[in-house]
Amino acid sequence: MNPSPSQPRRSRRAKIIGSVIAVLAMAGLGTLAWYLTHQPAAGPGGAPGAPGAAGPGGAPAAGGGGRGGRGGGMATTVGVATAERTDIPVILDALGTVTAAATATVRPQVSGILQKVHFSEGQLVKAGQVMASIDPRPFEMALMQAAGTRQRNEAQLESAKVTLERYRTLLTQDSIARQEVDTQAALVKQLQGTAMTDRAAEGVARLNLGYTQVKAPITGRVGLRVIDMGNLVGSGDANGIAVITQLSPIDVEFAVPQDRVPDLQGRIRDSAGLPATAFDRTRTTSLAKGEFKALDNQVDVQTGTVRAKARFANDDQALFPSQFVNLRLELRTIKDAVVVPVTALRHGSTGDFVYVLNAAERTVAVRPVTRGQATVDKVEVKTGLKAGEQVITEGADRLKDGARVTLPTDKPAAGAAGGRRRQREGAPQ
């Protein structure tokens, strides 16, 4: 059975009516949403459009004052600090490396069998202390031989001198030719030279015998032993017997930026003792205190720095060679400087400035300043600020010139408290 022609017409009419109903529903929803979002907020008395209510778009209504602006608008809570006068040190911070004041490799000066070792690894030794012994018997024999040769030649010298005196007596009696006297005098001089050589040879032999006792050339700590007893040692050994490192005093080498060199040189010319402090890698623990020692004579063209050295007594052995430390060198001290916290100083397009608080009106004013030296938490203000004035340290990002502020110690206004209470309880009936 075929459908009648009236059925397609009814189906199209139903579609059109449904579309119209959907469009009307969407328009109604849009109107309701606009009304809800643009309805004026109730004032303190419950009536919309009261002074201070929000205007269109959530912005403060006319006469209400903006956030932090002039007038009676919403104030920003800020933190403040007082500019004060104090002494501020001029500090040079650098990364340094601990270096031993002296390092010596203990090597024997004669060759022989290492007979005994008189030190322990890591031991503190003093200069002149015996550290090892070499078999002395060959050197004792050499000394005896040199002494015997010297005695024999000295005896010949004495005999030649007696003969020369006899010849001179005979010459006065004209009983001997002068030639024989001159020959005997030359022999005496020859034997005198031989005796002197013998005495030198005996001295060398005695010196070599003393070298069989290997002694510490400097005071310091002994490193690990590199050779054991029974080995043949000599002056040509590269590693020697041990290495001694002087730990007290000890030096710290660091780099000074070339821009800071003139200031440092000025203090050196004044013969001022510059205190130096070595800190650990975290800059929290002080390891040792010393003073500036020396400045190098040229700038490193690759780094733009000049090498320098500070010396520390290191009596407690807190510093160790090749240790990395943070060095703080105090160049001078600025007396009675006006300082504020570092967080109070701000930088704008026209330079550095601070927000100064007017405590009576609870407003702030922009004050251009000139900054000076700075420490970790304080900065010097050379011009633009006096001691005793209060500056903003927290919340300054939301401020502008003339903005109203509140302090954490300020009590809330009674009207504001009442308004919040009425909002909690609801509008009056």
* Structure-token match 């602006």, residue found: 69
pLDDT bucket at 117, cuts 50 / 70 / 90: very high
CATH number for 103-244 (one of 3.40.50.720, 1.10.3720.10, 3.30.1180.10, 2.40.50.100): it is 2.40.50.100
Do 427 and 95 meet the contact criterion of CB atoms below 8 Å apart?
Answer: no
Collapsing DSSP to helix, strand or coil, 287 comes out as strand
Q: Which helix (H) or strand (E) holds 310?
A: strand 305-312
Angle between helices 137-172 and 178-211 (to 10 degrees): 160
Task: Name the CATH superfamily housing domain 92-100+250-332.
Answer: Efflux pump adaptor protein, beta barrel domain (2.40.30.170)
How many other β-carbons are positioned within 10 Å of the β-carbon of residue 325?
24
* Segment among 49-58, 189-198, 372-381, 402-411 with least mean pLDDT: 49-58
**Tens digits of residue pLDDT in 123-151:** 999 999 999 999 999 999 999 999 999 99
Percent of the chain with pLDDT over 90: 48
Q: Please check the confidence at residue 174 and state whether its pLDDT lies above 80.
A: yes
- List every span in the chain annotated with CATH 2.40.50.100: 103-244
E-only strand ranges, 47-190: 76-77, 79-82, 84-100, 103-106, 112-117, 124-125, 130-134
Give the pLDDT score at 52: 36
- Supply angle C-alpha 389, 390, 392, rounded to 5: 145
* Structure-token match 């105090």, residue found: 330
Could you tell me which residues come within 8 angstroms of residue 371 by beta carbon, excluding any fewer than 6 positions away?
A: 345, 352, 379, 380, 381, 382
How high does pLDDT run on average in the chain? 83
Could you tell me which residues come within 8 angstroms of residue 224 by beta carbon, excluding any fewer than 6 positions away?
A: 121, 122, 242
pTM, two decimals, is: 0.60
76-88+336-406 is classed CATH 2.40.420.20: yes
Q: Please check the confidence at residue 429 and state whether its pLDDT lies above 60.
A: no
Give the pLDDT score at 311: 94
- List every span in the chain annotated with CATH 2.40.30.170: 92-100+250-332
**What is the mean pLDDT of the segment spanning 215-239?**
90
**Tens digits of residue pLDDT in 72-90:** 457 888 889 999 998 888 8
Question: What does 23-37 look like in DSSP terms, one character per residue?
Answer: HHHHHHHHHHHHHHH
Could you tell me which residues come within 8 angstroms of residue 243 by beta carbon, excluding any fewer than 6 positions away?
A: 103, 104, 105, 106, 222, 223
- Give 290's strand partners: 276, 312
CA 420, CA 276: separation in Å to the nearest integer?
59
Spatial CA neighbour of 94 closest among 324, 313, 294, 288: 324
Structure tokens at 358: 């007017």
Spatial CA neighbour of 300 closest among 359, 257, 331, 335: 257
C-alpha 361, offset from chain centre? 46
